[in-house]
Chain A
Amino acid sequence: MAEVTFAERLVAAEGVRVRYLEAGVGDPLVVLHGAGGLRLGPAHHLLAARRRVIAIEIPGFGASVADHGAASLRELALTVATAIERLDLGRFDLMGHSFGGKLALWLAVERPESLRALVLVAPAAIRPEGRPPLPEDPAELHRLLHAHPERQPAAPPPDPEVAARQRELVARLIGPPREPELESRLAALTLPVLVLFGTEDRVVPPEMGRLYPALVPGSHLVFVFDAGHLPDAERPEAFAALVDDFLERHRGFLVRRRSGLIHP
């Protein structure tokens, strides 16, 4: 793996200071994390070897910044959009995971002109009815999130106060399993959208994936075999290669470039 170091920075937006981690040079890729908070893994390092990766800590998450009291996910998306504007990136690629996937969709429908392409990883925008909230016990959560929990390093023990605040924020903003107001606006999106689901996802079942191509005209669904809710963590090389290729070629990425020649 290329040596990539993420630097911690802050940007001010609407009276809150937004923390973000940045590495790499090239086309900017903004990353929005899931309900568990800011998380960087080997896939993000691989992506940063070929582009400028900016992983934002969504306001209200983490230890440093207090919840600024967004009333809705749409409102939160606008705050995040303002923070990104302050970074002066020009048009950028956006990747959102789970909770951050739904946030990314809100950002996309509100600021479509600022985006080049969108990657949704196990997005939580469409969920089955009647699911219990995620378990609070870290070990239990670790098992639920992964297809192969034994192969994954356990996350550092969370600060219980931060974890509780994040849970409260997610519960307040995640919205219903289906949100007609958001869904009705998806048909107007014209940017290329890649939707990824792990085949063993037990948080947002991969069967939810089939609803995106039906709702988002330019979207393409890919199943990441043998991965759970965090396909970037469980299949980092494959994940990064696919996302890289998609961000480079958009819908043209359906056409293979890998050579089949074995004995030149």
Chain B
Amino acid sequence: MKVALFSPVPYLGDAPAIWPVPAEAYSAEVAMASTQLALEQFQLADELGFDWVTVAEHHYAPLSLTPNPAVLAGALTQRVRRARIALLGPTLPILNPVRVAEEVAMLDTLSGGRVIAGLLRGTSNEYVTYDVNPAESRERFEEALQLILRAWTEPQPFGWLGRYYEYRSVSIWPRPVQRPHPPVYISASSPEGGEFAARHRLGVGFAFTTVPLAAEAVRHYRERAAEAGWEPAEDQVLYRVAAHLAESDEQALQDLEARGSRPSYSRSNRAIDDASAGAGYYGRDAARQRARLQRHGLRERIGLGQLLAGSPDTVLAQARAIHEALRPGVLEVVFEAVGREKTLRAVELFGTRVLPCLREL
């Protein structure tokens, strides 16, 4: 199993639990320190042998200071020397897909062909950010993704007569280093996502979910891929889990309890999430998709495979259980923000004591 380190680059100061978050409480110093800590984490992960480092896109909130993951990934190409750099990823339906194709190709060129392209729909609230109707989210996503694949691979300039996008001439420079294009992952928590990935032979990633729900979604994806006449490689299933490690289980749990919890993006503004759901953003199993975003207590999160917490031995056992249940080719770990020293120590403990064993799986 490969292991990735993800950081949303959280803002480490106080801020209200709403969305969008007003900038009144914003401190540039805190934001700069938060960004530096994330860069340190990524660099440490590279040194410790993590296979990937991962960045994401989120807007208007201190949960993540990376509204454009390509900008951070550009910085990482110069600091992360060995690991692959994953964007998980640009929120396609609210962006210009040709621009996304260009940015990923640039990053692949800057990094010498190390980029992984997760192409996502984003959470329901993102649609407010760039004024896009969430009801069109899936159709925009599916069209944008196919346009991006063409932009990476077509040898001649071409026009695109789409339903949501129209370009009279597309011919991007630079081109991706990886041929035919960087590995692509999409979210397959919803059945529609798994079906699209199976149809287009894409990898799938799971975040903000639980191991039982992801296991069911992986089964759906693999069945549909078989119907489409192919078998996804192990690496094409990614599962994201939060983690905190300390010398002992007690210490790790104590660190997490002291930190408290924050609501997820889409739960921070129920009016927006309800309106998005009403517009049809969540697809045909909406109730389940919304339920999986529910916040749980620490013990429950561990039980559901949302959190690895404890000593290195305990975390290894928890990670093995996830591997057993889900067989992901890539386990993506996001370290809980529990203060600079403790976070970096957790990364180090994971990298030296857990990672070598997981790579054997």
Interface size on A, residues (CB 8 A): 22
Q: Is the CB of B156 within 8 A of A222?
A: no
How many CB-defined contacts (below 8 Å) exist between A and B?
A: 55
Q: Is the CB of A223 within 8 A of B169?
A: no
Q: Is the CB of B150 within 8 A of A223?
A: yes
Most buried by A among B154, B157, B159, B161: B161
| A100 shortest CB reach to chain B, Å | 20
Residue of A nearest to B171 (CB): A213
Most buried by B among A199, A238, A242, A256: A199
Q: Is the CB of A222 within 8 A of B158?
A: yes
Residue of B nearest to A200 (CB): B146
Tell me which of A210, A242, A254 contacts B161 (CB under 8 A).
Answer: A242
Q: Is the CB of A222 within 8 A of B159?
A: yes
Is A250 among interface residues, defined by CB-CB distance under 8 A? no
Which residues in A have their C-beta under 8 angstroms from that of B147? Answer: 225
Is B179 among interface residues, defined by CB-CB distance under 8 A? no
| B11 shortest CB reach to chain A, Å | 33
Interface string of B22-44 (1 = CB under 8 A from A): 00000000000000000000000
Which residues in B have their C-beta under 8 angstroms from that of A238? Answer: 161, 163, 166
| B332 shortest CB reach to chain A, Å | 32
Interface string of A214-233 (1 = CB under 8 A from B): 10000011111110000100
Is B313 among interface residues, defined by CB-CB distance under 8 A? no
Q: Is the CB of A225 within 8 A of B161?
A: yes
Is A101 among interface residues, defined by CB-CB distance under 8 A? no
A223–B223 Cα distance when bound, in Å, is 30
Is A17 among interface residues, defined by CB-CB distance under 8 A? no
Tell me which of A196, A199, A221, A253 contacts B157 (CB under 8 A).
Answer: A221
Interface string of B134-158 (1 = CB under 8 A from A): 0000000001001100100011111
B residues adjacent to A (C-beta < 8 A): 143, 146-147, 150, 154-163, 165-166, 168-169
A residues adjacent to B (C-beta < 8 A): 196, 199, 209-210, 213-214, 220-226, 231, 235, 238-239, 242, 253-256
What are the 5 closest A-B residue pairs judged by CB atoms, nearest first?
A: A222-B159, A213-B156, A225-B162, A254-B168, A221-B158
Starting from the known contacts A223-B150, A226-B163, 5 additional A-B residue pairs (CB-CB under 8 Å) come to A221-B156, A222-B158, A222-B159, A225-B163, A238-B166
